[in-house]
Amino acid sequence: MTDKVRLGIIGLGTQGSMYAKFIADGLVPNMEVAAISDIDPAKAEIAASQYPEASFYENYLELLESGDVDAIVTAVPHYLHPQMGIDALSRGVHALVEKPAGVYTKQVKELNAFAAAHPELSFGIMFNQRNNPLYIRLKEIVDNGEIGSILRSNWIITNWWRPQGYYDQSAWRATWGGEGGGVLVNQAPHQLDLWQWICGVPKSVFSKVAYGFRRNIAVEDEVTALVDFGDGVTGVFVTATHDLVGTDRFEILGDQGKIVVEGSKTATVTRLKKPERELSESMDMADVMKLFMGELNADDLYTTETIEFDSAWGAQHSGVLENFAANILDGTPLLAPGSDGITGVRLANAIHLSSWTGKEVSLDFDEDEFLGELNSRIRAEGKFPERS
């Protein structure tokens, strides 16, 4: 292998085209576009004009067996990611899968197990928000205990407004059999990942989910989920695709501070000078009266820091690609190991299952029960094959 990884892009749609352009524009210096695969023969002409040095294949298996590539990225519909990842790794080709890692945990576990049996190959996932300097810094603050132990977290992420025409553009979109879900599997996987990456994995979830609430679709366009992390620690996740104004607000309350993120751009970090309970127990009624009168000096209680980072368009995605190539070339640790992809899929599955059954669902849920419920909805659509 040279100093550049030869990448095969499977799927030259919106995402695949974006990755190809990033690489061609030099944003990923240790990678080159070596081959492209797409089932649409019309994409061959596009590939030939824009990436003349890259070979083109209508069948991705031919690309994997061509010897033209060292690695692939799967820019294809969600259901296809696990099998394509396995097909690549089984042929000695490094695999970077798009988010989500799959639609249901059973198929993602198969991919993870296969990848674990081939540790000599790099296996990553395109969680580009893990390359967002703001969230990297917030994870450091939480991991370092700077706001103490987490007591509660909540994320309202409703700035995914999509008009009906978005859903009507193709027959597979917003279907159980074609896409595997709605806002949870299409728009919100990054937040489901970041929430657990920073705050930990919950033990159970109870959800209220609306399907086709404000859009003519079969899948979810409104979600409210209450999760239990254990030891009294809770969290709330709200997302939707019908809020024209939209909100992106992430809060993490600790026993010694708080983080509030607005718009995934600005974070306000408050650090208490003592744990909250110590402050509470140290105050007498005179202090309480000062509190009621607004006379307490905030500087005696906590400090406040505002954190903002400039993040150029494309830097997060191209950074994941560059990091993936570096892992292949010299073993640089992955920003987003592929095995981490299951956490978001598992939480999305549990949210769906809770809404379908009307019960609180453990994150260690019955995968066959979930798959049975999913297949019943695929059957009702009558457009796509059931899953196994």
The 3-class SS string of the chain reads CCCCEEEEEECCCHHHHHHHHHHHCCCCCCEEEEEEECCCCHHHHHHHHHCCCCEEECCHHHHHCCCCCCEEEECCCHHHHHHHHHHHHCCCCEEEECCCCCCCHHHHHHHHHHHHCCCCCCEEECCHHHHCHHHHHHHHHHHCCCCCCEEEEEEEECCCCCCHHHHHCCCCCCCCCCCCCCCCCCCCHHHHHHHHHHHCCCCEEEEEEEECCCCCCCCEEEEEEEEEEECCEEEEEEEECCCCCCCEEEEEEECCEEEEEECCCEEEEEEECCCHHHHHHCCCHHHHHHHHCCCCCHHHCEEEEEEECCCCCCHHHHHHHHHHHHHHHHCCCCCCEHHHHHHHHHHHHHHHHHHHHCCCEECCCCHHHHHHHHHHHHHHHCCCCCCC
Question: What is the reported pLDDT for 36?
Answer: 98
Residue type for position 150: I
Domain range list for the chain = 5-127+314-338, 130-311+344-381
The reported pLDDT for the residue numbered 133 is 94
Which CATH number does 130-311+344-381 carry? 3.30.360.10
Cβ atoms within 10 Å of 373's Cβ, excluding its own: 15
256 vs 11: CA distance, rounded Å: 47
The pLDDT value recorded for residue 193 is: 97
Residue 179: how many other CB atoms lie within 10 Å: 22
Query: What pLDDT does 310 receive?
Result: 82
What pLDDT sits at residue 1? 55
CB 97, CB 125: distance < 8 Å: yes
- Cβ contacts of 215 within 8 Å, gap of 6 or more: 162, 164, 167, 174, 221, 241, 242
Q: Which residues are CB-contacts of 74 (< 8 A; sequence separation ≥ 6)?
A: 10, 11, 80, 81, 84, 85, 95, 96, 97, 98
Report mean pLDDT in 10-residue bins for the chain, 388 residues: 90 95 96 97 94 96 98 96 98 97 97 98 97 96 98 98 95 95 97 98 98 98 98 98 98 98 97 96 91 89 94 86 98 97 98 98 98 98 95
CATH 3.40.50.720 corresponds to the domain 5-127+314-338: yes
